[in-house]
Amino acid sequence: MTHAPHLFAVEGDDLLINGVPVRVLAERVGGGAFYAYDSAAMSQRVADLRAAMPGDLKLHYAMKANPMPAVVRHLAAQLDGVDVASPLEMRVAIEAGASPAHISFAGPGKSDADVREAVAAGITLHLESPREFRAALAAGEALGRTPRVALRVNPAFELKAAGMKMGGSAKQFGVDEEKAPALLREIAASGARFEGFHIFSGSQNLRADSIIEAQAKTLDLVVALAEAANLPVRLANIGGGLGIPYAPGEQRLDLAPIGEALELALTRFRARMPDTSVAMELGRYLVGEAGVYVCEVIDRKESRGEIFLVTNGGLHHHLAATGNFGQVLRRNYPVVAPARMGVRETEKVHVVGPLCTPLDLLGHGVDLPRLQPGDLVAVLQSGAYGLTASPTAFLSHPAPSEVLV
Ligand SMILES: *Cc1c(COP(=O)(O)O)cnc(C)c1O
């Protein structure tokens, strides 16, 4: 079985994370399961995007994909903004050096206190409802600050082939396209500073044609809304949705046709809206392939002819790799033996965790060299939606550590 493509170098038997063998990192983090993130791989992702996308396209980091402060600091320094989804993420982004003017806060259900915190910090609120807007005005009044707001719009179209749809149909996200003009009139009549629009239609898309189509429709929608708004539009955040390969046979997205199509769409867009910047916000694409999750074999068992490697890691550390984070079909993430990369002879095994549930399955029928207790197992493509998307308290085992290399 061949794996989905990955970014890491291999030297002899060792998988390297930014030049350091995983075997050595395991000692450096003091034992136990851990996540390691390759800072050079993240920078490469940024460079690839800058090279392929139009020169004036802004790139933001959607930090819920990986909110480790060191990762946010690394990316904030190279990108044009950070998108946060909670007040704590906002604080981490500010401490990581992102300027509040370039931080935006999206997410349904912002409490009055959340809104106040955002207004106090001077970041942009991506409004998800009329109630949030009124809370922003009240906070601005109480704090003597002008709230900065953008309108998150739930478009009438869907992102085809997205792993997770975030727009189209009835959704809790944003304000329906049809209802936007009324709220825009309210914003225009208030003293709030209007930043622009945010339209995010879906995630984990590996089809360039559907991304291209969604981006073109999104820009058209911004033009239409701007005409209805009678407000200056400083920024149009057109979402992201760029996916990464996980399963065997999946290929990395070819950025070139997406960049070319966006250049054309932006040329048309600029003719109508010359003063509006356009941003793409990405989480998974920037960090997903740059991360690896590493655990250790605790036991090797045979049950009715099948081999189980029981590890000290699993669902409580890496829910997504077990197929339980919103996936419809469980498919293995790429699983390797990071200190036996040169070994050709393999056996078919199931890699499981220590939890008392059959859901705790990191690899089903994967090909690995013959491993024993004490050996390491690594799950690739683990830099996004890993640790913080996992129920670490479940069964009260120790949490994994994290290291940025
Ligand atoms: C989660 C999220 C993202 C990031 O999505 P990825 O698929 O990780 O790129 C971007 N924007 C918003 C509004 C989100 O909620």
Closest protein CA for atom 2 of ligand 1 = 62
DSSP β-ladder status, 164-165 and 202-203: antiparallel
CA 7 to chain CA centroid, nearest Å: 17
* For ligand 1, atom 5: residue with the closest CA: 283
Alpha carbon 283 to its chain centroid, in Å, reads 3
Instruction: Output the residue whose Cα is nearest ligand 1's atom 7.
Output: 203
Helix or strand run (H / E) with residue 149: strand 148-154
- How far apart are the CA of 163 and the centre of ligand 1, in A? 12
Residue nearest to atom 6 of ligand 1 (CA): 283
| Band (178; pLDDT cuts 50, 70, 90) | very high
CA 116 / ligand 1 centre spacing (Å): 23
DSSP structural state of residue 18: T
Nearest Cα residue to atom 3 of ligand 1: 62
CA 130 – ligand 1 centroid, Å: 22
Residue 11 to residue 9: CA distance in whole angstroms: 7
- Contacts of residue 117, defined as CB under 8 A and 6 or more positions apart, other chains included, come to 87, 90
Distance 285 CA to ligand 1 centre (A): 10
β-bridge mates for residue 127, sequence order: 151
Least confident range from 56-60, 149-153, 168-172: namely 168-172
Which ligand 1 atom is the nearest neighbour of the CA of 282?
9
In tens, the pLDDT along 221-278 reads 999 999 988 899 999 999 999 999 999 889 999 999 999 999 999 999 999 999 999 9
pLDDT digits (tens, 9 = 90+) for 25-76: 999 999 899 999 999 999 999 999 999 999 999 999 999 999 999 999 999 9
Q: Which amino acids bring their CB within 6 angstroms of ligand 1?
A: 62, 64-65, 83, 106, 200, 203-204, 239-241, 281-285, 384
Q: What is the pLDDT of residues 84-114, one digit of tens each?
A: 999 999 999 999 999 999 999 999 999 999 9
Give the atom of ligand 1 at the shortest distance from the alpha carbon of 384.
8
pTM: 0.96
**Distance from C-alpha of 338 to C-alpha of 304, rounded to nearest angstrom:** 28
Task: Say what the pLDDT of residue 168 is.
Answer: 66
